[in-house]
Structure formats: structure tokens, C-alpha cells
């Protein structure tokens, strides 16, 4: 079965609203990565989290890795239309397991 | 531009046929990964090679096979194609943990 679950599947927000996507694993992860795929494009690496409880920020994006290294979240503050795309998490347990992705649509 | 190239960009073929997708990794990257992405779906990991050897296997069908050559480029062979094999096939390469994705090959099986 799927090792990494990601929710929600879709999220529609008004520009300026916040957005969060969550990933959950049934087993402890070695690390977790986040990717963004623009419509019609290929996945692009955003960040990797390795340590328990780690929090990293990239401008309006905040990434968290849970204490048990089984869950992670990506939070975008004050979304912009350029944030549109699908956000994937990928957990590493010997090999990479990608979440099903959260498709973000931002209305101007 | 990730530095990973994939050919062809598009491929249209018929059921029962066999196709080969090619991937050239970023210079110096030893690992190559193959993924399948069906319409509006997530990324399905197929297989990983490291320096010519198979490193990890995902949900790759028996009709599919891959290899990595001494020059580190990789090929994904898809045979006895079915309608359901229509998808975007991505290759990614990595030196350490970060994966750099190619632009993908869009396969349409009619």
C-alpha cells in the first residue's frame, strides 16, 4: 500500500489567503523532500528535511518535519498566483515514496 | 533547466507495440530514477539505478524494463503496450539526495 499519504488533494484559495498541505507516513522516515510541479512542467525540488522537529523557511514557505519523523507540512503564507501548481512530498524509507500531491489553485 | 534531458518529448504508438525512452542525467550524477505520472495523478516510482546497477524497484510492471549504461544514460523499455500505459514518464537524476527531474516523455497509446 501507499507509504506516504498527502492531503488535501485539491485546494482553491483566494490570493492572499494561506495554504497548507500535509504528508503522513505509516513508518518513520529517514528524511522528507518537497517538490513543486507547475502545470505542464516537471517536479522541481524545493527542500529537504532531515532532523526530527526541523522547521525551514523559504520566504513565504514554511516546511516542518514532525518530532516522530512520520509527518510533514508545507505552509504558504499569503498565496500569490505564482504559487499555483501541485506540491508533492517524498518520504525516504530505503527508497522514495511520493505523496499523491496537493493541487493548489489561487484565484486573483 | 534541470540539466536532465529526455527523448523523445512525445511518443504516439499503438497497443501491443514496444517503445524505448531515453534519459541523460546531469553531468556527474550517478543515480537515475524513472517515474510514471498518469493524467492528474501523482508520481509513481518505477525504478532506480546507481552507477549501472539496479538500486531500488518500485511498482514497475514486468512488461517494463530499464537499464543504465556505462556512460550513465538510462533507457526505459515499455513492451506489449496497453491503453493504460499512456502517461508522462519522468526521469530524474541525483548526486546525493536531491532529485533533478527531466522534462518528461509524454506517451500516448492508441
Q: Are B39 and B20 in contact (CB under 8 A)?
A: no
C-alpha to C-alpha distance for B32 and B95, rounded to whole angstroms:
9
pLDDT in tens, A36-58: 999 989 999 999 999 999 999 99
Q: What is the pLDDT along chain B (110 residues), one digit of tens a residue?
A: 889 999 999 999 999 999 999 999 999 999 999 999 987 677 888 999 999 999 989 889 999 999 999 999 999 999 999 999 999 999 999 987 788 999 999 999 99
Whether residue A105 lies within 8 A of chain B, CB to CB, comes out as no
Q: CA of A66 to nearest chain B CA: how many angstroms apart?
A: 19
Chain A positions in Cβ-Cβ contact with residue B87 (cut-off 8 Å): none
The answer to whether the CB atoms of A97 and B45 lie below 8 A apart is yes
In chain B, the percentage of residues whose pLDDT exceeds 90 is 83
Give the DSSP H/E element, type plus range, for residue A105.
strand A102-107
Amino acid at each position: 500500500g501507499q507509504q506516504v499519504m498527502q492531503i488535501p488533494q485539491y485546494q482553491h484559495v483566494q490570493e492572499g489567503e494561506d495554504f497548507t498541505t500535509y504528508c503522513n507516513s505509516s513508518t518513520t522516515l529517514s528524511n522528507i523532500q518537497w517538490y513543486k510541479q507547475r502545470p505542464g512542467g516537471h517536479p522541481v525540488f524545493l527542500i529537504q528535511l532531515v532532523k526530527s522537529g526541523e522547521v525551514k523557511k523559504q520566504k513565504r514557505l514554511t516546511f516542518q518535519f514532525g518530532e516522530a519523523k512520520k509527518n510533514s507540512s508545507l505552509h504558504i503564507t499569503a498565496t500569490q498566483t505564482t504559487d499555483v501548481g501541485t506540491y508533492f512530498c517524498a518520504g525516504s524509507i530505503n527508497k522514495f515514496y511520493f505523496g499523491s500531491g496537493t493541487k493548489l489553485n489561487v484565484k486573483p | 533547466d534541470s540539466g536532465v534531458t529526455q527523448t523523445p518529448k512525445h511518443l504516439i504508438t499503438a497497443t501491443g507495440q514496444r517503445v524505448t525512452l531515453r534519459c541523460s542525467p546531469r553531468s556527474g550524477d550517478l543515480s537515475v530514477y524513472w517515474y510514471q505520472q498518469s493524467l492528474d495523478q501523482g508520481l509513481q516510482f518505477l525504478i532506480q539505478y546507481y552507477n549501472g546497477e539496479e538500486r531500488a524497484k518500485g511498482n514497475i510492471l514486468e512488461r517494463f524494463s530499464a537499464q543504465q549504461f556505462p556512460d550513465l544514460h538510462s533507457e526505459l523499455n515499455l513492451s506489449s503496450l496497453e491503453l493504460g500505459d499512456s502517461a508522462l514518464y519522468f526521469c530524474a537524476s541525483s548526486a546525493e539526495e536531491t532529485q533533478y527531474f527531466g522534462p518528461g516523455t509524454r506517451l500516448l497509446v492508441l
